[in-house]
Amino acid sequence: MTTPVSRGATPALPDRHPRLTVLSGPSGVGKSTVVAHLRKAHPEVWLSVSATTRRPRPGERHGVHYFFVDDEEFDKLVANGELLEWAEFAGNRYGTPRRAVLEKLEAGEPVLLEIDLQGARLVRASMPEAQLVFLAPPGWDELVRRLTGRGTEAPEVIERRLAAARTELAAESEFDTTLVNTSVEDVAAELLALL
Ligand code: ADP
Ligand code: 5GP
């Protein structure tokens, strides 16, 4: 079983700043779907675009879904302190660019991060006032169906992600709020209300 290991740390932010919300949950639960639905109706909701060493899925665009970088570029982002947090997940690295997040918070705008459990823990450690929201599946079998049904990962990658999902589901109690993704519309409305 793959146990994700946290690798990144992040210096503290200024004492007073508006709310930062972290959305986490197992791969395939529907995080991207819910956030896309929310932002379609509310384009003003700002979502941080992460950097990743993962290869793009069909339809994913550089600078929109992720900043797709190679290992060397990711190393530089880490070395230059450009990431607020970062973690390795199922064989790839992912990180939150620091500057854009701080600029939004300093401008008084709410910030939404869609990151994994390790990242959520790192954000909590450096920003105790951040709001942590866990997106849970209606059940394990449905999670497997969604992850498999998405059809974007090879079987061995699905296995790694499901192994990580067991760890993530076990950590639900660390979050401030749990939303169960039965209906995308309902969950998007609930998330909007929390921001
Ligand atoms: P994540 O971003 O958490 O990895 P995705 O948003 O890619 O997950 O969703 C995984 C799959 O589950 C997609 O095929 C998506 O269409 C589907 N899905 C998302 N939310 C729901 C839902 N409430 N009911 C049924 N299918 C869903
Ligand atoms: P995916 O490859 O399915 O897009 O994302 C895999 C996992 O990485 C998901 O749990 C997603 O939330 C997480 N992730 C995406 N961006 C970041 C990031 O910047 N930091 C961390 N820690 N996790 C991220």
Q: How far is residue 19's CA from residue 195's CA, in Å, rounded to a whole number?
A: 7
- Protein residue with least CA distance to atom 20, ligand 1: 30
Contact assessment for residue 107 and residue 115, using Cβ atoms and an 8 Å cutoff: no
Compute the distance from residue 48 Cα to the ligand 1 centre, in Å.
Answer: 19
Instruction: Return the ligand number nearest the Cα of 182.
Output: 1
- Protein residue with least CA distance to atom 23, ligand 2: 115
- Better-predicted residue by pLDDT, 151 or 13: 151
| pLDDT of residue 16 exceeding 70 | no
| pLDDT band with cut points at 50, 70 and 90 for residue 8 | low
pTM (two decimals): 0.92
In 2-138, beta strands by DSSP E: 20-24, 51-52, 67-68, 83-89, 92-97, 111-114, 131-136
Which sequence spans correspond to the domains of the chain? 20-194
Q: Pairing state of beta strands 177-180 and 131-136? A: parallel
| pLDDT band with cut points at 50, 70 and 90 for residue 172 | very high
Helix axes 31-41, 184-194, angle to 10 degrees: 70
Query: From the alpha carbon of 25, which atom of ligand 1 is closest?
Result: 3
Query: Is the beta carbon of 48 within 6 A of some atom in ligand 2?
Result: no
What rounded mean pLDDT belongs to the chain? Answer: 91
Residue 30 backbone zone (phi > 0: left; psi -120 to 50: alpha; other: beta): left
124: which 2 tokens? 């909590």
Query: From the alpha carbon of 31, which atom of ligand 2 is closest?
Result: 12
Region 153-168: mean pLDDT is 95
Residue 109 backbone zone (phi > 0: left; psi -120 to 50: alpha; other: beta): beta
Contact assessment for residue 187 and residue 181, using Cβ atoms and an 8 Å cutoff: yes
Contact assessment for residue 97 and residue 49, using Cβ atoms and an 8 Å cutoff: yes
Compute the distance from residue 94 Cα to the ligand 2 centre, in Å.
Answer: 6
The CATH architecture that domain 20-194 belongs to is 3-Layer(aba) Sandwich (3.40)
Query: For the chain, what percent of residues have pLDDT higher than 70?
Result: 91
Query: From the alpha carbon of 24, which atom of ligand 2 is closest?
Result: 12
Q: How far is residue 2's CA from residue 60's CA, in Å, rounded to a whole number?
A: 26
| pLDDT of residue 71 exceeding 60 | yes
Query: Is the beta carbon of 31 within 6 A of some atom in ligand 1?
Result: yes
Query: From the alpha carbon of 35, which atom of ligand 1 is closest?
Result: 6
